[in-house]
Chain A
């Protein structure tokens, strides 16, 4: 479960946005909609432990995220939060399976069987030992999805995961996200302005970019 309460954040020279409170239970889904510049990505970064808010608190499974700092926060993030970005951002230097095993490595874990499980579940097992530049756009996004799942997180955050995909791939990726979140009983939060996703997820809020 992830919960964000009374978050305030402000960039220099830009007025602060209104950030609503958020609460998503394990197995539930939330769609955060909004046009560009309404603070969607900022919110996602705050939820993901990547950006410390000025005020307020983010709770994940009873842990106050920003009470942790440094290495402890990095570890917590690696273990409990899986993040999918708009672009896959797979590391060019590594093979597909090495990319997916990377979150385990940073935590000091080594479970190759789990890597194989996700390779199979996401239909990219045949690309296991391939280099990243041989992947199609859709395959690459599935690799980044598998990487987000590799530590079996409690929260999955996705930032415009379908924006650069065609209709078919977008549908596949969203379905895979939902399906895997269900399996892990993880809270799934998707930030997007992609109209194609709207129908698939019922629970949604819209950021309007209101200034406090």
Chain B
């Protein structure tokens, strides 16, 4: 037997009080865990998805909405812009490269994104099978889309209009899967990628059949004889001066809108930050209450156990051993609470992801451990030490003779 086992036996004698204290602490810690997991992964994912995109140009509207729809594919697009105008802007000397995007269709909620092969190199995709599209209506699937639809290379499907599922179908032009991507843990996983031409032709009333056989544009803007629209442009700056001049130039001089992902996202986090701090405060209060609960439980049980402690001293226990006994009870309670808290937190994130398959949280993972979770354990142990210090000190001071003669 060790002191630790002795502490554990004393905790086991009072399963209800022990259990409740563990539960309360675990709840407080699980909230912190969820926040840590979501914040860390969300920020990571947001930054990862926006890497390489300095600016998004699209129709006027909410800049945040433009960024969310064109980079993260979670909000509705602000509208379409004239391709000729977009092409003119993209010739600006401050712009190194632009990737045009045509949004607006989906297959069972998975967004169909018309773009060119530059988009593939922007996210550095790898194919698990097949190859990039060459012809109109050829598509490649992100890993999640592939696993959820069960499609493989050679299958075909019909897209629907709009970015949400269950709207009007473009039944005359089925898409054909020519490639499937490897999982990358970024936004591409949940997209269906194709050429802008595919998106155009899907909406055209009737298209000359030979166009379907022509190769699509692999880079830059597609060729067209009629006026065409795109949804947005992803822009890479040529130099840092562009960050200062380009957004202002576009926003003031044209019918277009420019939004910087990094700026918009930090603004978003600022807005969310208030809510996060609030929840954090709540979690800290719960942890504080559970610490108080543990203190009261130890303190009360000590009153009942004074005689036990005196008996232990009389049969050879030292003051230090009794101090350790009580301290370990507090630490045991809180470390079990911490383990449960982390488990509940991860489980909660798991269910959150499970029930939000296509939402903003769908790319979170519950099976990831981040460094800050060690802090949760640290908090818990600190609460344990704080809550048990006074009771342990009382145990240390037990006056044997006085206690035994009572």
Contacts and interface: CB of A to CB of B under 8 A. Distances in A.
A is bound by B: yes
Interface of A: 41-42, 45, 48, 50-51, 70-71, 74-75, 77-79, 83, 85, 89, 91-94, 98, 101-103, 105-107, 147-148, 151
Contacts of B401: 42, 45, 50-51
B9 to A, nearest CB: 4
B97 to A, nearest CB: 72
A98 B6 CA distance: 10
Contact of A79 (B13, B307, B316, B400): B316
Contacts of A42: 401, 405
A106 B12 contact: no
Contacts of B405: 41-42, 45
Interface in B13-29: 13
B84 interface: no
A78 B315 CA distance: 5
Given A45-B404, A98-B1, A83 B314 contact: yes
B92 interface: no
B314 A151 contact: no
Contact of A78 (B6, B9, B316): B316
Given A45-B405, A50-B404, A105-B1, A93 B316 contact: no
Contact of B314 (A41, A48, A71, A98): A48
A71 B320 contact: yes
Given A92-B13, A101-B1, A106 B320 contact: no
Top 6 A-B pairs ranked by shortest CB distance? Answer: A78-B316, A51-B401, A106-B316, A103-B315, A45-B401, A74-B318
A210 B352 CA distance: 79
A70 B67 CA distance: 71
Given A45-B405, A70-B319, A106-B312, 18 more contacts: A41-B405, A50-B401, A51-B400, A51-B401, A74-B313, A74-B319, A77-B315, A83-B315, A92-B13, A94-B6, A94-B9, A98-B9, A102-B312, A105-B1, A106-B317, A106-B321, A107-B316, A148-B315
Given A45-B405, A91-B308, A70 B315 contact: no
Interface in B271-323: 307-308, 311-321
A93 B311 contact: no
B76 interface: no
A151 B316 contact: yes
A63 B321 CA distance: 24
Nearest to A48: B314
B316 A89 contact: no
Most chain-A CB neighbours within 10 Å: which of B1, B10, B315, B320? Answer: B315
A151 B315 CA distance: 9
Contacts of B321: 106
Most chain-B CB neighbours within 10 Å: which of A77, A106, A107? Answer: A106
Nearest to B12: A93
A49 to B, nearest CB: 9
30 contacts: A41-B404, A42-B401, A42-B405, A45-B400, A45-B405, A50-B313, A50-B400, A50-B404, A51-B400, A71-B318, A71-B320, A74-B318, A78-B315, A78-B317, A79-B316, A83-B314, A85-B311, A85-B404, A89-B308, A89-B311, A93-B9, A94-B6, A94-B9, A102-B315, A103-B316, A105-B6, A106-B312, A106-B316, A147-B315, A151-B316
